[in-house]
Each structure stands twice: as C-alpha cells, then as structure tokens.
Amino acid sequence: MKFSLYQRLSLSLLLVFIIIISVFYLWSVQLEKQARYESEQSLHLSLAANLARDNPLLQQGVYDHKALKNLFHTLMVLGPAFEFYFLDPTGNILTHSLPTSLIKRNKVNVSPLIRLTQNQADLPVYGDDPQHQTRQKIFSAAPVFNGATLQGYLYVIVAGERYETAFEKQNTNRQVKLSMVIFIGAMLFLFIVMLGLFAYFTRPLRLLNREITALKSAGFDTSKVKLTHWKPQSHNEVHMLGEVFEAMAKQIHEQLLQLKQNDSQRRELLADISHDLRTPLASLQGYIETISLNANSITAEQQQKYIDVTLKNARQLKQLIDQIFELAHIEGGQVTLNLESFNLAELLYDVVAKFTLKAQEKNISIIITPQCSTLLIHSDIAKLERVVSNLIENAIRHTSNAGQIAINIEEQEKHCFVKVRDNGTGIKTEELSYIFDTRYRASNAIQSDEKHTGLGLAITKKILELLKSEIHVTSELGKGTEFSFDVKVAS
Ligand SMILES: Nc1ncnc2c1ncn2[C@@H]1O[C@H](COP(=O)(O)OP(=O)(O)OP(=O)(O)O)[C@@H](O)[C@H]1O
Ligand SMILES: [Mg+2]
C-alpha cells in the first residue's frame, strides 16, 4: 500500500498518540490503586492490634485453634472485606477465616509484617496473599505475646478478595466507560486537529509535487503550465525548494528555446552557405568545361581570361570555406588562446601593410595614431590580427575613393582601446544591431564582383568574446563608421 507524506505523518501521529494515551491511562490507574491502598492500609493500620488487644483469647496469647476459627468466622461476617490469619512467629499459617481449599500457600513472609508493626516503612506495604502463589496485598498485622514469648501474628488482609471483586464490579464499568469515552473523544479531537495542521503544512509540498508532475507531462514547457510564485527569501524550506524549482523550470525552458533557435539558425545557415558555395562552384565548373570542350577553338588570350575567372572563383570558394570553418571552430569551443605580450602598434602596421595595395587602388589613406607607440599588450597575436584585418577590409570596401581610415590607440590604465574609423558610407541606425549576426549584410553592402557573405563581423565578435573583450560600433549614414574594442595592457 502506498501512502502519501501527509497520510504517513497522520498515521505516525495517531500511533504516537495511542501509545501516549495508553501509557497515561495505565499509569493513572496504577496511581489511583496505590493511593486507594495507602488510605485503606493507613485506615486499618491498628485493626489487627485492636483485635488482639480486645480479644481475651489473643490477649492472653493462648493459641486455641477452634476458638480462633470461630472468632475469625464471626469477624468475617462483620467485615467481609477482611481475611484473617493467625501465623506462628516464622510465618506458618496456623488458622484462617477462609475455606481451606482457597489457601494456596502455607507460609507468609514475616519481614513486611515486622516492618509495618515497627512503623519502618512507607505505606502501602504489601504482604504475601495466602490465596495466591505470588500475589501480594495490603494488610494489618499485630504480634501476639504469651507473657514475654512471641506466640505469633494476627495477620489481616485488608483489601481481600471480596473487597476487590465488589470494588471492581462497582468501579470497572463506570470508570472504564468514562475513561474510554474521554480517551476516544480526546483522540478524535486531537486527530482532527492534527489532520488539519498536517494538511495546512503539507499543502505547499503537494502543490509543488503537482506542478512538477504537470511540468513533466507538458515536456518542461513553462508556457503550458501555470507555475506558482513562491515567496522569495523565505525561511520555509518548501518555499525555498519551490523558488529553486521555479528558477530551474525557467532555465530549462529558456535552454530548450535556445536550443530550438540555435537549431533553426544552423539549418538556415547551412542552406544559405550551400547556396553561396554552389554559385562560385557552378561558375568554376562552367569555365573549366568551356576550356575543356573548346580547347582547340579558343584563342590563348580567351583561355587565359577563362582561367583567371576560374581562379577568382576558386579563391572565393576557399575564402568562404575558411570562414565557415573558422566560425564553426570558434563556436565549437575548440579554440586555444596563445596569450603573449607584444607591441600593439607593430601589429597594426603589419596588418595595414597587407591592405596597402587595395587602399592605394582606391586612393584611401590609412593613418595610425599615435604614430609611434611602445605600448605592450597581453593578447593572442594571430586572433587580434584577424579582428583588425576584418575591420580594415570592411572599412576599405565601404569607403569611397580618396577616403580616409584612421586607426587610433587609446591607453587607459590597464586597458587600451583600439578604434577603426572610416569616412565611408556609414550604416543605418536600425541596422546597427544586426551587423554582428551571422550572414547579415546591411543595405549599404556594395555589390562588387567579389562575393561577401556577412561572416566577417560575426567571426570578429566571437574572437573578441574569447579574448574577454566587447566590440562597439557607432555610425552615421553618409559620414562614416567607427568600430572600437579594448585589449589588456601587459603588466
Ligand atoms: N566599415 C563599414 N562601413 C559600412 N558598413 C559596414 C562596415 N563594416 C561592416 N559594414 C556592414 O556590415 C555588414 C556585415 O559585415 P561583415 O563583415 O559581417 O560582412 P561582409 O563584409 O559583408 O562579408 P564578409 O566579411 O563575410 O566578407 C556588411 O555587409 C556591411 O553592410
Ligand atoms: Mg567583412
């Protein structure tokens, strides 16, 4: 059988409650009995002594079996609750008031009798009950002397068998009934109160359990399940648990969404890239086929022209594939950084030198300020070169003839800002936030005969993220664009 936490708590409480009440009931019965015996014994403490003193037979210490038997019989008629015994000094029963068949032992231990007669013990004192092998009862006792010699003891069981039977008959029903009513009533009351309390305290736990189950069956989609807002910074453990669960559910949902988004982006990228690859590849194939089919009919000049076009297409293909690999490599997290200290200005001059020819073709001047700098930075030289190359390449492409590109180094404590500014076409403000997206090309993208796919800035941004830096852009349409990022100065 499977019980919920609430049911288990209730059942355990019920069990504890039954045990407590039972122990309490038994204890109170025992206490009541002891108090009753104590008062009975103290009331009849001098009973035996009075009998011994008032009875001429016992007063003289003469032991007459028949006369005593008669006396006991008379006394028992007067006080049916008492049982009378006459014992010898060692405790052997000589005469008693009962039918012989009821007597189960011949001897009674006299030490409790001595203790009681000498007032050495606290009441109640129990003595052996001759009607039972092991049972003990309260009694009254008095020594009987013949002159100076101890003749024996008058031993009176105060709460005898008849007393107990009569008492139990009277009391049992009333008391037991009363206790049972109180017991059941109290138990029922407490049980109902406890059920209410448990239901109240376990309510958040049940709610949490319901939510977890619902969320699981909804495939962890938080939009399909209405989640409770748990009390923040509560000291209640269930609320703390609920809060963590809420955050966890949110995170799982966001990650699922992110995964789906990444997946669709990847598919899109793959489709776009295969299209981009197909175009130069088809052109390449077309020209090679032309050369191959018309090898004899075309002139050497035409042949050279076709080969140039094929070469251009092949270069484009290589560049595109390189970029795709680079991006995949960075995104896959397989890049290791080679951090070292080097002169930033030297690196910038090296990159600019690569683009001198292209810049001269468009009569664009590239200036680095300050012209001389000994500033050492701590970074990955190859990665930083890729970043600066991408920015300068874009700047040259989007700057018209006779334009200007300024590269600026700005040192600030532990960091240094590199700014690449051109006075070219500029980018529309609404397009600025998209230019770092993979394959995004703004409306200004100059459709030159060279194919560009919009991967450059995406790669640049990712490389800078690896170097724990951020790229920023400001631009004004028709006036120019400025890209800036920071690098760590070598300590
Ligand atoms: N300096 C700039 N001035 C004006 N527009 C720019 C500049 N740099 C980038 N852009 C715009 O941002 C877009 C994205 O740039 P990105 O470098 O990612 O792609 P791309 O240069 O078109 O292609 P690729 O870098 O893959 O060859 C460009 O298409 C262009 O529209
Ligand atoms: Mg580019």
Distances (CA, A) of 9 to 12, 20, 212: 5, 16, 22
CB-based burial of residue 226 (10 Å sphere; 0-12 exposed, 13-18 middle, 19+ buried)?
exposed
What is residue 378's predicted lDDT score, i.e. its pLDDT?
Answer: 95
Cα separation, 257 vs 220, whole angstroms: 11
Instruction: Confirm whether 187 is domain-assigned.
Output: no
Number of Cβ within a 10 Å radius of residue 299:
8
One domain for residues 13 and 56: yes
One domain for residues 359 and 482: yes
One domain for residues 143 and 20: yes
Atom of ligand 1 nearest to the CA of 442: 31
**In this predicted model, what pLDDT tens digit does every residue of 40-71 receive, in sequence order?**
888 888 888 888 887 777 766 666 777 778 87
Q: Is 455 in the pocket of ligand 1 (CB under 6 A)?
A: yes
Tell me the residue range of the domain where 286 lies. 237-331
Q: How many domains does the chain have?
A: 3
Domain finish residue from 167, 195, 218 = 167
Cα separation, 8 vs 374, whole angstroms: 76
Distance 347 CA to ligand 2 centre (A): 19
**Residue 257 is part of a domain; what is its CATH number?**
1.10.287.130
Instruction: Confirm whether 185 is domain-assigned.
Output: no
**Residue 142 is part of a domain; what is its CATH number?**
3.30.450.20
**In this predicted model, what pLDDT tens digit does every residue of 74-107 receive, in sequence order?**
887 777 788 889 899 999 998 888 888 888 988 9
What integer best gives the mean pLDDT of the chain? 87
**In this predicted model, what pLDDT tens digit does every residue of 317-336 receive, in sequence order?**
898 888 888 888 888 888 88
Does residue 38 register a pLDDT over 60? yes
**Residue 392 is part of a domain; what is its CATH number?**
3.30.565.10
Give the three-class secondary structure for 43.
helix
Residue type, 354: K
What is residue 1's predicted lDDT score, i.e. its pLDDT?
Answer: 63
Domain finish residue from 275, 304, 331 = 331
Q: Tokens 């075309």 map to which residue?
A: 298
Transcribe 65-114 into DSSP letters.
HHHHHHHHHHHHHH-TT-EEEEE-TT-BEEEESS-GGG---SB--SHHHH
The three state secondary structure string of 177-224 is HHHHHHHHHHHHHHHHHHHHHHHHHHHHHHHHHHHHHHHHHCCCCCCC
Instruction: Confirm whether 216 is domain-assigned.
Output: no
Distance 403 CA to ligand 2 centre (A): 18
For strands 404-412 and 415-422, give the pairing: antiparallel
Q: What is the CA radius of gyration of the chain?
A: 55
Q: Which of 194, 186, 211 is nearest to 21 (CA)?
A: 186
Residue nearest to ligand 1 atom 12, measured at CA: 435
In testing the pocket of ligand 1, which one of 322, 394, 431 has its CB within 8 Å of the most ligand atoms?
394
Residue nearest to ligand 1 atom 28, measured at CA: 441
Instruction: Confirm whether 65 is domain-assigned.
Output: yes
Q: Is 454 in the pocket of ligand 1 (CB under 6 A)?
A: yes
Instruction: Confirm whether 127 is domain-assigned.
Output: yes
Domain finish residue from 312, 331, 350 = 331
Q: Which of 488, 453, 484 is nearest to 471 (CA)?
A: 484
Provide the percentage of residues in the chain whose pLDDT is more than 90: 34
What is residue 444's predicted lDDT score, i.e. its pLDDT?
Answer: 85
Per-range mean pLDDT, top range of 6-20, 138-152, 338-352: 338-352
One domain for residues 293 and 417: no
One domain for residues 140 and 97: yes
Give percent helix, percent strand, percent coil of the chain, each to the nearest 5: 55, 15, 30
One domain for residues 287 and 349: no
**In this predicted model, what pLDDT tens digit does every residue of 357-367 receive, in sequence order?**
999 999 999 99
- The set of long-range contacts for 98-106, using a CB threshold of 8 Å and a minimum separation of 24, is 98/131, 102/131, 102/161, 103/130, 103/131, 104/130, 104/131, 104/132, 104/133, 105/130, 105/132, 105/133
Distances (CA, A) of 97 to 49, 62, 79, 142: 17, 18, 11, 16
pLDDT range class, residue 173, cuts 50, 70, 90: low
Give the three-class secondary structure for 478.
coil
Q: Tokens 């030159």 map to which residue?
A: 448
Instruction: Confirm whether 231 is domain-assigned.
Output: no
**In this predicted model, what pLDDT tens digit does every residue of 249-303 receive, in sequence order?**
889 889 989 999 989 888 888 888 888 888 888 988 999 999 899 888 888 898 8
Q: Is 456 in the pocket of ligand 1 (CB under 6 A)?
A: yes
One domain for residues 282 and 372: no
Mean pLDDT check: name the lowest of 145-154, 208-217, 222-231, 406-415.
Answer: 222-231
41 vs 406 pLDDT, higher one: 406
Go through the chain and tell me how many residues it has. 491
Atom of ligand 1 nearest to the CA of 443: 31
Q: How far apart are the first and last CA of the chain?
A: 70
Taking the model in full, what pTM does it have? 0.56
One domain for residues 359 and 481: yes
Q: Tokens 């760590």 map to which residue?
A: 488
What is residue 447's predicted lDDT score, i.e. its pLDDT?
Answer: 64
Q: Which ligand is nearest to the CA of 446?
A: 1
One domain for residues 399 and 313: no
One domain for residues 316 and 378: no
DSSP lists the bridge partners of residue 481 as: 422, 475
Q: Where are the alpha helices (DSSP H) in 332-447?
A: 344-361, 381-397, 429-432
Transcribe 6-40 into DSSP letters.
HHHHHHHHHHHHHHHHHHHHHHHHHHHHHHHHHHH
Distance 259 CA to ligand 2 centre (A): 27
Q: Is 481 in the pocket of ligand 1 (CB under 6 A)?
A: yes
Provide the percentage of residues in the chain whose pLDDT is more than 70: 96
Distance 233 CA to ligand 2 centre (A): 49
Q: Is 444 in the pocket of ligand 1 (CB under 6 A)?
A: yes
Contacts of 96 (CB under 8 A, 6+ apart): 72, 83, 84, 85, 86, 103, 130
One domain for residues 14 and 161: yes
Instruction: Confirm whether 484 is domain-assigned.
Output: yes
Instruction: Confirm whether 182 is domain-assigned.
Output: no
Asked if residue 241 lies in contact with residue 232, where contact means CB atoms within 8 angstroms, the answer is no
One domain for residues 348 and 436: yes
Distance 398 CA to ligand 2 centre (A): 10
Cα separation, 445 vs 428, whole angstroms: 11
